[in-house]
């Protein structure tokens, strides 16, 4: 039977994920993606590659190059920016489809390079870099190993995070707030207005004398750096820099979050991330519960296959959203970067 | 309208039926541990290793022992879940066969919930060294061998890429879901090969029907059925998804994102049905190399390449000689003009989806034959296909073939310089260079594509 306590635990998991490190990381990365797609109309399907660059920046910086951790963060930013240049240079002059193809491929290649044995000395292959997190651990706001806080609705509804997860949660949400304010003011500025005009009609912007390529590149770099920050938070929370954390599925989850929240709105990446992770975690928890208590017979579906359902659900949501409500929850259909081709 | 409704109902039933059936990743009930031993003999043929002795222990307690049978299979029934240690007695291996790593004669086979057969792997080799003609060949031989392998890869990719190119040409849509149509063809052929339609539509599973409906058919027949299924999938996708989107006025970028979502959905649905493991077709799998002088290949590879060449040639001919082919080229060139000259554009597009789906399925079967039969093959090759199409010229008729051949050969040859796992990076580099200097590709028209 589906006990009330099981449902409470599934809900607890839902809140833990919705407000926790995963949501923070995805919110930050989606803010970057919002700059790319929401405001400029760039089809960046390799945001996970920027996250990887940021993460490896601090990992490699501290472990291999023995940098101070603040310098390593700067190094990560540099790597993410460099990656943006690399991707943007050939493709920003061309049709949007080409950027999508190149970014999907490039992000995957980065992961393969990170895994490969030949780059072992720098990246430590599939095992990754592990000994770099001490300076961040010392900065953690809550020094106990784990800490739970109760939610007010029910006595058993609890959120539990480990020390480094609390690091990501507290500093991460602060970062999110700062980034939201930054994006708000940027997009109200003349620079932001040019980006929007490029999204709407590139030729018109060019006819007015704006160097479209330069603005697009700036947007790509800025969004990429923000993606790099997301990657840094991701690995600080986990304690290890491994290539297989940065799989292409993350980009697809992020796109769904962005579209769900509504592109080109400052708050939508944040709200989208929270809602998405809550729904996904609760759905998966319920499915797992149904599979384990054999409400759904094991011949159809085992609890180990819940992961597959996650991505089927994400794929289907992406399709339905784009067909029926591309502006998501908060967006404005007029402002979507969907031209009339 | 009525045909569409009936088809929708049939599709729905098929879907229900396929979910009602045990997923192919399931196994039968007896718990046990299993080892399959094989090694390449002097001519490079993979032979089963007979009479090798194994001891099975669990937490130090001896459970049993046995030997591999005439098929190279060792199986021991066990009583419960656990991590069983399987120890191979190297002295029991036949003459000339040794463990690749003599210290690794113990492996663990896990028997657990959802995994009734624990499997363990042992790497064996023949004393003469790995009888792999690429490793042993001189560098000139290696070059030619890699070129041959690359041509093979290029031909198989081209079959998937032609559909992509035609779809782009006629509708302007870059379909990311094409890679999953390739995997669909591959896994459908696998299903027909092993289980027949009965397993696919679970309703008839126990009726003992013959052939394609019952217990699986020869790969050739399965391949034909899978190609037809691929065409059917293409038809369904256009009728139920893309044509309505075009009618609703959904923009091309939105449609492209929909294809990305579709590819996710299909990929993980196929993974859910078939499991994440590598699989092999029942027929034509283990074959020995034929020596063609300086290079070597297996009969299945040779025949697949010839079939691909034939099919690609036929498609090229059809595009040039037949009326429908001309219509397709006309729509690709200038849609409005084609429509005003009386061509039924929607019908052409539908046919393009059907042909694209069927060709992708066929390409998938070929790829599956060359030891790539798993759910990720599509995504892994997506980059190569895009690189080939970009290189050849997105939207041109023969561009797919030319581009994919170059990409295939280039990628294989690049392993001479860069590590094998990064060879796809070469394809990305090719694509980036092409985009920087000649974005319309080799065969494309020099028009503004910015």
* A290 inside 8 A of chain B by CB: no
Whether the CB of A45 is below 8 Å from some CB of chain B: the reply is yes
Is A311 close to B26, i.e. CB distance below 8 A? no
Q: State which residue of chain A sits closest to B168, comparing Cα positions.
A: A97
More confident position, A81 or B399: A81
Contact at CB, B172 and A338, closer than 8 angstroms: no
Q: pLDDT tens across B168-194, in order?
A: 888 888 899 999 999 999 888 888 777
Name the pairing type of β-strands B32-36 and B117-120: parallel
| Per-residue pLDDT tens digits for B219-271 | 788 888 899 999 999 999 999 999 999 998 888 888 999 999 999 999 998 88
Most confident of A80-89, A215-224, B78-87, B240-249: A215-224
E strand or H helix at B119: strand B117-120
In chain B, whose CA is at the least distance from the CA of A98? B435
Chain A residues lying within 8 Å of B250, measured CB to CB: 322-323
What mean pLDDT do residues B302-325 have? 88
Gap between the Cα atoms of A128 and A245, Å rounded = 10
* Side-chain half-sphere CA neighbours of B329 within 13 A: 14
- Residue among B267, B437, B288 at smallest CA distance from A91: B437
> Strands B32-36, B38-40: parallel, antiparallel or unpaired by DSSP?
unpaired
pLDDT band at B132 (very low <50, low <70, confident <90, very high): very low
* Non-local CB neighbours of A110 within 8 Å, separated by 6+ positions: A49, A52, A53, A83, A246
What pLDDT shows up at residue A301?
Answer: 67
Record: contact B422-A101, CB cut-off 8 A: no
Enumerate the residues of chain B whose CB falls inside 8 A of the CB of residue A101. Answer: 174, 386, 390, 431
pLDDT given at position A52: 94
Chain A residue numbers with beta carbons less than 8 Å from the beta carbon of B199 are none
Interface contact flag, A102 B435, Cβ < 8 Å: yes
Please state which of the ranges A214-228, B135-149, B350-364, B412-426 shows the lowest mean pLDDT: B135-149
The region, left, alpha or beta by phi > 0 then psi within -120 to 50, assigned to residue A114 is alpha
Question: Which of B265, B419, B424 is closest, CB to CB, to A319?
Answer: B265
- Sort out which chain A residues have CB atoms less than 8 A from B20's CB and list them: 300
pLDDT, position B130: 38
The whole-angstrom separation of Cα A263 and Cα B383 is 27
**Å from A278 to nearest chain B CA?**
20
Cα-Cα-Cα-Cα torsion B354, B356, B358, B362, nearest 10 degrees, comes to 180
Structure tokens that stand for B50 in this block: 């007979």
Q: Which long-range contacts (CB under 8 A, 24 or more apart) does B348-352 make?
A: B348/B170, B348/B324, B349/B170, B349/B171, B349/B238, B349/B242, B349/B243, B350/B235, B350/B238, B350/B239, B350/B243, B351/B324, B352/B163, B352/B166, B352/B167, B352/B170, B352/B171, B352/B328
Residue A147: both structure tokens together: 């800490």
Cβ distance of B421 and A43 shorter than 8 Å: no
Please choose, from the candidates B398, B377, B22, the residue with its C-alpha nearest in 3D space to the C-alpha of residue B185.
B377
Contact flag A98-B262 (C-beta cutoff 8 Å): no
Averaged pLDDT for residues B97-121:
74
Give yes or no for A300 touching B (CB within 8 A).
yes
- At residue B287, the pLDDT reads 62
What's the pLDDT band for A338 if we cut at 50, 70, 90? Answer: low
What's the mean pLDDT in B206-210?
48
Tell me the sheet residues that pair with B98: B125
Residue with the larger pLDDT of the pair B413 and A227: A227
Among A140-154, B102-116, B181-195, B434-448, top mean pLDDT goes to B181-195
Q: Which residues pair with B76 in a beta bridge?
A: B33
* pLDDT band of A232, cuts 50, 70, 90: very high
**pLDDT for residue A227:** 95
Separation of alpha carbons A113 and A92, rounded Å:
24
Question: Taking CB atoms and an 8 Å cutoff, what residues of chain A touch B19?
Answer: 300
**Which residue in chain B is spatially nearest to A306 when comparing CA positions?**
B272
Out of B254, B383, B422, name the one closest to residue A116 (CB).
Answer: B422
Q: Tell if the CB–CB gap between B256 and A323 is shorter than 8 Å.
A: no
Task: Find chain A residues with C-beta within 8 A of B427's C-beta.
Answer: 105
Strands (E) in chain A, as ranges, are: 146-150, 158-162
Do residues A159 and A8 lie in contact, with contact meaning Cβ atoms separated by under 8 Å? no
User: Whole-angstrom Cα distance, residue B439 to residue A191?
Assistant: 29
A236-250, A305-319, B102-116, B317-331: the lowest-pLDDT one? B102-116
Cβ-defined contact of B435 to A315 (cutoff 8 Å): no
The mean per-residue pLDDT over the stretch A281-293 comes to 82
Residue A144 contacts B where some CB pair is shorter than 8 Å? no
Rounded distance between C-alpha atoms, residue A136 and residue A132, angstroms: 8
Virtual torsion, Cα B241, B247, B250, B256, nearest 10 deg:
40
Q: Do B428 and A105 touch (CB under 8 A)?
A: yes
List the one residue out of A327, A8, A309, A24 whose CA is nearest residue A169: A24
Q: Is the pLDDT of residue B67 over 60?
A: yes
Nearest to A338 by CA among A330, A323, A84, A329: A323
| For chain A, percent of residues with pLDDT exceeding 70 | 90
DSSP 8-state class, residue A329: T
The pLDDT value given to residue A283: 86
Query: To the nearest whole percent, how much of chain A has pLDDT over 90?
Result: 35
A 48-77 near B (Cβ less than 8 A): none
Question: Could you tell me whether strands A146-150 and A158-162 are parallel, antiparallel, or unpaired per DSSP bridges?
Answer: antiparallel
pLDDT at B352: 93
Per-residue pLDDT tens for A172-229? 999 999 999 999 999 999 999 999 999 888 889 999 998 999 999 999 999 999 999 9
d(CA A10, CA A244): 27
The residue among A95, A106, A107, A247 with the most chain B CBs within 10 A of its CB, best to mutate, is A95
Across residues B48-56, what is the average pLDDT? 79
CB of B389 within 8 A of CB of B179?
A: no
């Amino acid at each position: 039977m589906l006990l009330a306590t099981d449902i409470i635990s599934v809900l607890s998991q839902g809140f833990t994920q919705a407000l926790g490190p995963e949501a923070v990381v995805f919110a930050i990365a989606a803010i970057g993606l919002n700059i790319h797609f929401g405001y400029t109309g760039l089809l960046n399907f390799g945001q996970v590659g920027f996250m990887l660059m940021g993460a490896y920046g601090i990992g490699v910086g501290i472990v291999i190059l023995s940098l101070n951790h603040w310098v390593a963060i700067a190094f990560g930013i540099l790597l993410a920016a460099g990656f943006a240049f690399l991707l943007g240079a050939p493709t920003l002059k061309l049709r949007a489809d080409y950027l999508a193809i190149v970014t999907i491929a490039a992000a995957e290649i980065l992961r393969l390079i990170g895994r490969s044995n030949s780059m072992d000395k720098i990246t430590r292959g599939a095992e990754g870099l592990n000994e770099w997190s001490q300076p961040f651990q010392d900065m953690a706001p809550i020094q106990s190993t784990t800490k739970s806080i109760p939610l007010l609705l029910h006595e058993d509804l609890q959120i539990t995070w480990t020390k480094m997860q609390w690091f990501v949660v507290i500093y991460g949400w602060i970062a999110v707030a700062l980034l939201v304010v930054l994006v708000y003011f940027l997009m109200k500025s003349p620079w932001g207005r040019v980006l929007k005009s490029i999204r709407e009609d590139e030729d018109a912007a060019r006819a007015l004398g704006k160097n479209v390529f330069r603005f697009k590149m700036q947007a790509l770099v800025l969004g990429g750096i923000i993606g790099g920050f997301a990657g840094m938070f991701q690995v600080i929370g986990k304690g290890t820099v491994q290539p297989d954390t940065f799989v292409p599925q993350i980009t697809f989850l992020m796109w769904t979050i962005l579209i769900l929240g509504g592109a080109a709105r400052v708050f939508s990446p944040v709200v989208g991330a929270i809602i998405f992770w809550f729904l996904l975690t609760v759905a998966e928890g319920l499915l797992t519960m149904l599979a384990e208590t054999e409400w759904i017979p094991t011949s159809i579906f085992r609890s180990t296959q819940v992961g597959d359902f996650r991505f089927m659900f994400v794929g289907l949501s992406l399709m339905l959203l784009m067909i029926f409500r591309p502006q998501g929850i908060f967006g404005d259909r007029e402002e979507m970067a969907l031209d009339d081709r | 309208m009525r045909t569409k409704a009936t088809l929708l109902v049939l599709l729905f039933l098929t879907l229900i039926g396929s979910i009602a059936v045990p997923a192919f990743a399931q196994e039968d009930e007896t718990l046990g541990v299993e080892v399959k031993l094989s090694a390449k003999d002097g001519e490079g043929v993979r032979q089963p290793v007979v009479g090798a002795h194994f001891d099975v222990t669990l937490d130090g307690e001896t459970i049993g022992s046995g030997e591999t049978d005439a098929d190279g299979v060792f199986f021991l029934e066990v009583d419960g879940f656990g991590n069983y240690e399987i120890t191979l007695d190297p002295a029991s291996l036949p003459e000339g066969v040794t463990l690749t790593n003599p210290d690794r004669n113990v492996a663990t086979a896990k028997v657990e919930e959802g995994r009734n057969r624990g499997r363990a792997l042992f790497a064996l080799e023949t004393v003469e060294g790995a009888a792999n003609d690429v490793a042993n060949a001189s560098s000139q031989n290696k070059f030619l061998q890699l070129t041959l392998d690359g041509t093979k890869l290029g031909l198989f990719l081209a079959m998937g890429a032609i559909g992509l190119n035609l779809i782009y040409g006629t509708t302007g849509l870059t379909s990311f879901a094409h890679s999953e149509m390739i995997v669909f063809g591959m896994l459908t052929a696998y299903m027909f090969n092993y289980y027949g339609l009965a397993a696919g539509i679970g309703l008839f599973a126990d009726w003992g029907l013959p052939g394609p409906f019952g217990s699986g058919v020869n790969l050739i027949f399965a391949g034909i059925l899978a190609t037809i299924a691929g065409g059917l999938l293409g038809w369904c996708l256009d009728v139920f998804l893309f044509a309505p989107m075009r009618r609703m006025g959904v923009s091309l970028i939105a449609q492209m994102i929909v294809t990305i979502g579709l590819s996710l959905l299909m990929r993980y649905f196929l993974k859910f049905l078939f499991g994440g493991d590598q699989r092999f077709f029942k027929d034509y799998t283990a074959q020995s190399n034929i020596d063609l002088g300086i290079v070597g290949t297996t009969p299945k590879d040779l025949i697949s390449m010839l079939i691909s060449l034939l099919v690609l040639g036929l498609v090229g001919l059809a595009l040039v000689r037949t009326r429908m082919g001309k219509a397709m080229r006309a729509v690709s060139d200038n849609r409005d003009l084609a429509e005003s000259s009386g061509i039924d554009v929607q019908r052409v597009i539908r046919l393009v989806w059907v042909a694209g789906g069927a060709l992708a399925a066929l390409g998938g079967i070929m790829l599956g034959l060359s030891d790539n039969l798993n759910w990720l093959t599509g995504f892994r090759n997506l980059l190569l296909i895009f690189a080939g199409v970009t290189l050849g010229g997105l939207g041109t008729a023969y561009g797919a073939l030319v581009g994919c051949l170059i990409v295939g050969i280039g990628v294989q040859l690049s392993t001479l310089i860069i590590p094998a796992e990064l060879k796809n990076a070469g394809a990305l580099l090719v694509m980036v260079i092409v985009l920087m200097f000649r974005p319309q590709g080799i065969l494309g028209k020099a028009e503004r594509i910015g």
